[in-house]
Amino acid sequence: MDGAPVKEPSFRESVDLMFNRAVALMDLPPGLEDKIRVCNSTYTVRFGVKLRGQIHTFTGYRSVHSEHMEPVKGGIRYSLGVNQDEVEALAALMTYKCALVETPFGGSKGGLCIDPREYDEDELERITRRFAYELAKRDLINPSQNVPAPDMGTGEREMAWIADQYARMNTTDINARACVTGKPVNAGGIQGRVEATGRGVQYALQEFFRHPDDLAEAGLSGTLDGKKVIVQGLGNVGYHAAKFLSEEDGARIIGVIERDGALLDEDGLNIEEVRNWIVQHGGVTGYPNAQRIEAGAVLLEHPCDILIPAALEGVINISNADRIKAPLIIEAANGPVTAGADEVLRKKGTVIIPDMYANAGGVTVSYFEWVKNLSHIRFGRMQRRQEESRHQLIVDELERLSRDTGVGWTLSPGFKEQYLRGAGELELVRSGLDDTMRGAYQAMHAKWRSRDDVTDLRTAAYIVAIERVAASYRAKGL
Ligand code: NAD
């Protein structure tokens, strides 16, 4: 490229541009468009923690995009890239995401500007508790007002610290555990939350593959079986998506892109083995069973059927968009495709399953966890055995009929075992997640297919989400 570098819009500008594209096709009352688009508030906090004999100052944010429904919901990210523009973009995406998958929340997001790998566990606990204290005392962590969750650089461990910190500050709040989601199961979490976002990516692709007309749009056909997939970021989201797609749907994960380079094997990588290597060695470097590519990001441009960016935003931008060969991109990360790249890819005919839908599995299961915390009972606890005994009745009756009539039927042991087992929490969570991902896809699909002016899934997703947020504001009389 020659001359001045091409200017990309910032992440927040990208989200706004995509919002504007959708709103131009809608008929919103004057003023409402602006009300929905703007971020309501962003709180910046700087706090000190004494570590290794000296005070370290940290900067954190919690942004509330829309309170048309409360609590507001959105993850807390630990990364050196965290800044106000980023948290505001992510908070806006949360508003639209929650509306699209019908979780009754407004949008929020938080971040701490920190590289968590530079601190040991005790230090991270002290930093997290202090950050949680600063947010909780301003009701920016609160079961009825603002409920964080894990995001890049955070996980169950950090959520458990946050929940405990809030409980210490609110000793009589019986719903204290509902102040944050993504907690470990033994600290008020829910089965299936850790894997939820990756699982949601799998369910999203399964639903896409149930629509032959949409598949044809990407020049694809058949099933997920044997499809070549490249994943960027083998963290929580990328690892679970890659694992389920390869182990359960027969997809071939031919490439994995990480911070320190990429791995390529056209026959398919063993995801469990690669993940173990990364956990033990801190990266893909030295992994013996695949070709290593030093400049990992070039693998985004490698031919494959499905590209899954699952690391960070802006990785597909105007500098590489025209070289992307995958006909289908599913945005497991938030904002991996910039507005400029989106334009280029749409012109090329690339189908993009947008972030606000693709990674909504996390907030969906977070919603189930929040409901579980407020109801103080595990899903399935009341009905599981009752369901099993009713199924047993039918099986007994079928076997009696077979005996009495001399037909001699026997039920296969596999059927009996499966049919007799009542649904526990994990089965219910998966069922609720699958249902949500199917329903939301169908809503986007209906918009995409029913209107000539809606030419892509992202615009369809925005229109569905904005219509719902607008309806909620209208109902309030705003
Ligand atoms: P994570 O921290 O568990 O994993 C991120 C992975 O990306 C890590 O393996 C990291 O090494 C890798 N990575 C970082 N920089 C990279 C680079 N430049 N190139 C290649 N790889 C790089 O984070 P996560 O929770 O999996 O989140 C990933 C994305 O998914 C983020 O955009 C996040 O907002 C989004 N998301 C996460 C959740 C969730 O439940 N965790 C929910 C919705 C959306």
What pLDDT was estimated at residue 132? 98
Which atom of ligand 1 lies nearest, measured to the CA of 149? 40
Rounded Cα distance, 290 and 256, in Å: 10
What's the gap in Å between 438 CA and the centre of ligand 1?
A: 24
Q: Is 154 in the pocket of ligand 1 (CB under 6 A)?
A: no
The pair of three-digit structure tokens given for residue 255, joined into one six-digit string: 């490439």
Average pLDDT over residues 256-260: 97
- Mean pLDDT of the 6-30 span: 91
Tokens of 18: 């995509």
Q: Give which of 334, 327, 284 is closest to 309, Cα–Cα.
A: 334
Q: Are 328 and 218 in contact (CB under 8 A)?
A: yes
Using 50, 70 and 90 to split pLDDT, how confident is the model at 30?
confident
- The residue whose two tokens read 């359960």 is 248
pLDDT in tens, 301-319: 999 999 999 999 999 999 9
Share of the chain above pLDDT 90, in %: 95
What's the pLDDT score for residue 5?
55
- Please give the distance, rounded to the nearest whole angstrom, from the Cα atom of residue 110 to the centre of ligand 1: 15
Whether 8 has a pLDDT exceeding 90, the answer reads no
User: 3-state DSSP helix/strand/coil percent for the chain, to nearest 5?
Assistant: 50, 15, 35
Region 397-413 average pLDDT:
91
pLDDT over 90 (residue 393): yes
Segment 223-252 mean pLDDT: 98
**Integer Cα distance of 231 and 238 in angstroms:** 7
Among 151, 280, 281, say which to mutate for ligand 1: greatest number of ligand atoms within 8 Å of CB. Answer: 151
Residue type for position 59: T
Mean pLDDT of 451-468: 97
The minimum-distance atom of ligand 1 relative to the CA of 355 is 44
Integer Cα distance of 352 and 324 in angstroms: 12
Nearest of 446, 383, 455, 443 to residue 96 by alpha carbon:
443
* pLDDT band (50, 70, 90) for residue 4: low
CA 313–ligand 1 middle distance (angstroms): 9
Give the closest residue (by CA) to ligand 1 atom 4.
235
Six-digit token string for 58 = 């940290």
The Cα–Cα gap between 141 and 132 comes to 7
- Euclidean distance between CA atoms 305 and 251, whole angstroms: 10
For position 6, what pLDDT does the model report?
64
Say whether pLDDT at 444 is over 50.
Answer: yes
408 pLDDT more than 90? no
Closest atom of ligand 1 to CA, residue 257: 20
Confidence band, pLDDT 50/70/90 cuts, at residue 15: very high
For residue 90, give the ligand 1 atom closest to its CA: 34
Is ligand 1 within 6 A of the CB of residue 151?
A: yes
**Is the distance from the beta carbon of residue 334 to the nearest atom of ligand 1 less than 6 Å?**
yes
Give the Å distance between the CA of 231 and the centre of ligand 1. Answer: 11
| CA 414 – ligand 1 centroid, Å | 39
- H/E stretch holding 263 reads strand 261-264
Are the C-beta atoms of 226 and 252 separated by less than 8 Å?
yes
CB atoms within 10 A of CB 423: 16
Closest CA to 237 of 351, 333, 316, 111: 333
Whether residue 191 has its Cβ less than 6 Å from ligand 1: no
CA distance 32 to 305: 40
The number of the ligand 1 atom at minimal distance from the alpha carbon of 336 is 32
Residue 109 is among the residues annotated as catalytic for this protein? yes
Residue 66 in this model has a pLDDT that exceeds 80:
yes
Pairing of strands 106-113, 72-79: parallel
Which tens digits make up the pLDDT trace of 71-100?
Answer: 999 999 999 999 999 999 999 999 999 999
Ligand 1 center to 418 CA (angstroms): 36
407 vs 47 pLDDT, higher one: 47
What pLDDT shows up at residue 1? 40
234 in contact with ligand 1, CB cutoff 6 A:
yes
**Mutational test site, ligand 1, from 63, 117, 312, 317, max ligand atoms within 8 Å of CB:** 312
β-bridge partners, 262: 257, 293
- Indicate if ligand 1 lies below 6 Å from the C-beta of 198: no
Residue 79's CB: how many other CB atoms inside 10 A? 18
* Cα–Cα distance measured from residue 444 to residue 457, given in angstroms and rounded to the nearest whole number: 6
Predicted pLDDT at 172: 98
pLDDT for residue 63 is more than 70: yes
Q: CB under 8 Å to 277, separation ≥6 — which residues?
A: 284, 286, 287
pLDDT of residue 3: 47
Gap between the Cα atoms of 258 and 231, Å rounded: 9
Of 73, 109, 183, 372, the catalytic one is 109
Cis peptide before 71 (omega within 30 of 0): yes
pLDDT in tens, 192-219: 999 999 999 999 999 999 999 999 999 9
pLDDT greater than 60 at residue 166:
yes
- Token output for 90: 């992510």
d(CA 18, CA 13): 9
Across the range 258-287, mean pLDDT stands at 97
pLDDT digits (tens, 9 = 90+) for 337-378: 999 999 999 999 999 999 999 999 999 999 999 999 999 999
